[in-house]
């Protein structure tokens, strides 16, 4: 399994840090000096990562299934992966293979049948023989889980398109649902955007029963994946059979009934209605691909859309396949497709991190280029694509390429713009600030919290029909602690720095939104003082945002909610003086410590307590020990080591946000130094 958990770096610095910090707090002046050195080195590293356009180009690293799906898509559209690129893909698969022969959902995950089966097929397409060590080990894992018959529904669909699973064994995905009126409670447009856009492509491909051309390779794979004759396999009997290793949420009784109705409908559906539904779905696919400049909202739905366009003989299919390369990433670990890029997200955080330290340390060159980037990254105009919310004025998680802005990315961009303005840099003009604020306001839900891409549309009914089996919390938008806090902070920072020119109505709208968002944060705090995260691991992350949002809204350091949160952080501190939370906290819904402290979680905890000016018994010692741990872990190049996964998506899809370790560590040290300077 691909991991890099050991600290690396300057041994002399580490030795000096360990000597000075033998008690971790024996010499405060020495700790401060080491922290200053660490901040300076970390600043130089982040500066070295800045791109020509002024952003940080971060990777959100997920798992090998995306790369496998790309390889399958190229094959099914009649293409061939060039040998040099195939070698890079294989290198990625080699590095991520687990000891049991399979591949997991993320870097620390046990193996999944879904990922392992699609990677196996991709390896065979790339020229690996069935008895090559990589393939032989993978087949051993697949067989141990009961074989490809037990792959989850999304995997069944991919295998069916390859001619490796019969469509009769795939759960129904009728495109006619897209012809329902938007007022219908089951209209797919009410779903969370990533989920509905994945099912948009799937529903077309299901209705078309798209199957790639047969070949000797397909015949060989049928023999390798199934015992006996492929044509004697009872695919229909295994339609809902899923290997336990892949199940996060069992299909509900309501979903099973809906599937039954769907199967009955498939027997009686009218061809003219099916053709009309497929045409409507294809029209949406074309619009989505064009408005996202062929990148789609993610590589998953982009590849499905490519196959739909290819089947339909649409002229856009080749451009769509090429557009998927927006998500590719090459480094010393090979080539892969990532879960996302994080240009704006990382840049906004890095600006705030660099601005947190003593004024004498701030890099004006970095901040000036970042200001130029933010000015260029704001989304302009409204979408023509169906079921879209307001997008004008927002900021995407990545750059503006795919035109899907997000609430918290816009909130953090506003906070970064305000930080830049305080230091004399112009990023967004007055109109840009107003438009960004209005975009943020457009994403607030009725409960006072903020959604991500959109407001919540679907009710609790949708959550009972989660068909993905492997994922959770994926059917509807909801309100998130992190998005709420980022939006509160961004709105308040924007008003503080730019609000003197605002019209009264915008001021009133912002004040009302902040009040309602603050109530949401207070209402969602857990009894132990923590907040549950949604986009990061997990309670440590949620608590950073919960406290930050309350402080931005005016809560004082002696506020009961703030103190309770800091006491909780103190209670989960690990024996080595840092903080670390396991990704299993997200899966099990309860706090679980990591085996050792993690620099990212340590930075989050330190930022929380430093912002809160927490000073109850033992707090200052704990902060000093945490800063000491960050100093010790820093490498000679100014970077911090890549440790455990810290991001999450759909409850089980953990991610490496690869820049988190650097700017959050820098941010915590900067707050520590600024406190001393003050």
C-alpha to C-alpha distances, 107 to 60, 339, 589, nearest whole angstrom: 12, 13, 20
Question: In what helix (H) or strand (E) does residue 543 lie, and over which residues does it extend?
Answer: helix 539-552
Q: Give the tokens for residue 488.
A: 């509160």
In the block, residue with structure tokens 């915008």:
506
DSSP SS3 for 56: strand
Contacts of 86 (CB under 8 A, 6+ apart): 126, 127
Q: State the catalytic residue, choosing from 246, 408, 493, 662.
A: 408
Contacts of 571 (CB under 8 A, 6+ apart): 528
Question: In what helix (H) or strand (E) does residue 657 lie, and over which residues does it extend?
Answer: strand 653-657
**Exposed/middle/buried for residue 112 (C-beta within 10 Å: 0-12, 13-18, 19+):** buried
Rounded CA separation 66/129 (Å)? 21
Rounded CA separation 339/337 (Å)? 7
DSSP SS3 for 176: helix
Residue 392 annotated in active site: no
Phi, psi of 44 (to 5 degrees): -60, -40
Q: Give the tokens for residue 612.
A: 């809160």
Contacts of 488 (CB under 8 A, 6+ apart): 411, 514, 517, 518, 521, 549, 552, 553
Measured over the CA atoms of residue 211, residue 213, residue 216 and residue 217, the dihedral's sign is negative
Contacts made by residues 356-359, CB under 8 angstroms, sequence distance 24+:
356/666, 356/667, 356/670, 356/671, 356/674, 357/39, 357/43, 357/666, 357/669, 357/670, 357/673, 357/674, 358/670, 358/673, 358/674, 358/677
Q: Contact 559/565 with Cβ under 8 angstroms?
A: no
Q: Contact 446/513 with Cβ under 8 angstroms?
A: no
Measured over the CA atoms of residue 558, residue 601, residue 571 and residue 672, the dihedral's sign is negative
Question: Which residues have a catalytic role annotated?
Answer: 408
């Amino acid at each position: 399994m691909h991991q890099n958990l050991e600290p690396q770096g300057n041994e002399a610095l580490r030795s000096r840090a360990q000597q000075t910090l033998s008690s971790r707090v024996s010499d405060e002046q020495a700790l401060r000096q080491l922290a200053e050195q660490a901040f300076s080195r970390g600043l130089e590293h982040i500066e070295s990562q800045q791109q020509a356009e002024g952003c940080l180009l971060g990777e959100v690293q997920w798992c090998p299934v995306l790369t496998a799906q790309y390889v399958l898509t190229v094959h099914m559209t009649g293409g061939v992966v060039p040998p040099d690129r195939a070698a890079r893909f294989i290198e990625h698969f080699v590095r991520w293979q687990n000891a049991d022969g399979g591949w997991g959902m993320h870097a620390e995950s046990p193996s999944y049948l879904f990922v392992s089966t699609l990677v196996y097929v991709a390896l065979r397409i790339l020229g690996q023989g069935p008895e090559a060590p990589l393939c032989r080990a993978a087949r051993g894992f697949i067989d141990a889980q009961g074989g490809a018959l037990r792959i989850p529904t999304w995997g069944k669909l991919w295998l069916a398109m390859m001619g490796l699973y019969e469509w009769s064994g795939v759960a129904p995905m009728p495109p006619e649902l897209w012809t329902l009126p938007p007022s219908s409670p089951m209209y797919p447009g009410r779903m969370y955007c990533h989920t509905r856009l994945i099912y948009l492509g799937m529903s077309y491909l299901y209705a078309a029963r798209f199957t790639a051309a047969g070949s000797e390779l397909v015949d060989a794979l049928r023999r390798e994946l199934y015992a006996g004759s492929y044509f004697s396999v009872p695919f229909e009997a295994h339609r809902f059979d899923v290997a336990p290793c892949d199940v996060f949420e069992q299909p509900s009784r309501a979903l099973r009934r809906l599937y039954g109705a769907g199967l009955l409908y498939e027997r009686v559906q009218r061809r003219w209605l099916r053709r009309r539904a497929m045409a409507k779905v294809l029209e949406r696919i074309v619009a989505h691909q064009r408005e996202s400049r062929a990148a789609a909202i993610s590589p998953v739905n982009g590849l499905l859309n490519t196959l739909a366009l290819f089947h339909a003989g649409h002229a856009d299919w080749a451009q769509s396949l090429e557009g998927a390369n927006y998500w590719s990433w090459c480094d010393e670990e090979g080539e892969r497709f990532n879960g996302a890029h994080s240009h704006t997200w990382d840049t906004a955080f890095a600006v705030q991190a660099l601005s947190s330290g003593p004024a004498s340390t701030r890099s004006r060159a970095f901040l000036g280029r970042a200001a130029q980037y933010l000015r260029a990254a704001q989304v302009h105009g409204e979408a023509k694509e169906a079921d879209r919310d307001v997008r004008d004025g927002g900021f995407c998680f990545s750059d503006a390429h795919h035109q899907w802005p997000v609430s918290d990315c816009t909130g953090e961009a506003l906070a970064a713009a305000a930080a830049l303005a305080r230091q004399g840099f112009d990023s967004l003009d007055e109109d840009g600030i107003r438009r960004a604020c209005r975009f943020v306001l457009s994403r607030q839900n009725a409960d006072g919290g903020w959604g991500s891409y959109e407001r919540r549309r679907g009710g609790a009914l949708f959550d009972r029909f989660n068909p993905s089996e492997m994922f959770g919390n994926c059917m509807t938008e909801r309100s998130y602690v992190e998005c709420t806090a980022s939006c509160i902070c961004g709105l308040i920072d924007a008003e503080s720095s730019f609000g003197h020119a605002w019209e009264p109505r915008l001021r009133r709208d912002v004040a009302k939104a902040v009040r309602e968002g603050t109530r949401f944060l207070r209402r969602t705090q857990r009894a132990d003082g923590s907040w549950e995260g949604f986009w990061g691991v997990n309670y440590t992350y949620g608590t950073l945002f919960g406290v930050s949002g309350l402080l931005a809204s005016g809560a004082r350091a002696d506020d009961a909610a703030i103190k309770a949160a800091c006491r909780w952080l103190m209670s989960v501190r690990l024996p080595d003086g840092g903080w670390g939370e396991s990704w299993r906290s997200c899966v099990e819904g309860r706090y679980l410590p990591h085996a050792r402290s993690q620099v990212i979680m340590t930075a989050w905890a330190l930022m929380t307590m430093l912002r809160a000016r927490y000073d109850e018994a033992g707090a200052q010692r704990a902060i000093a020990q945490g800063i000491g741990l960050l100093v010790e872990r820093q490498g000679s190049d100014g970077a911090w080591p890549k440790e455990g996964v810290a991001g999450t998506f759909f409850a089980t899809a953990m991610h490496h946000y690869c820049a988190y370790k650097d700017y959050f560590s820098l941010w915590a040290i900067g707050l520590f130094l600024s406190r001393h300077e003050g």
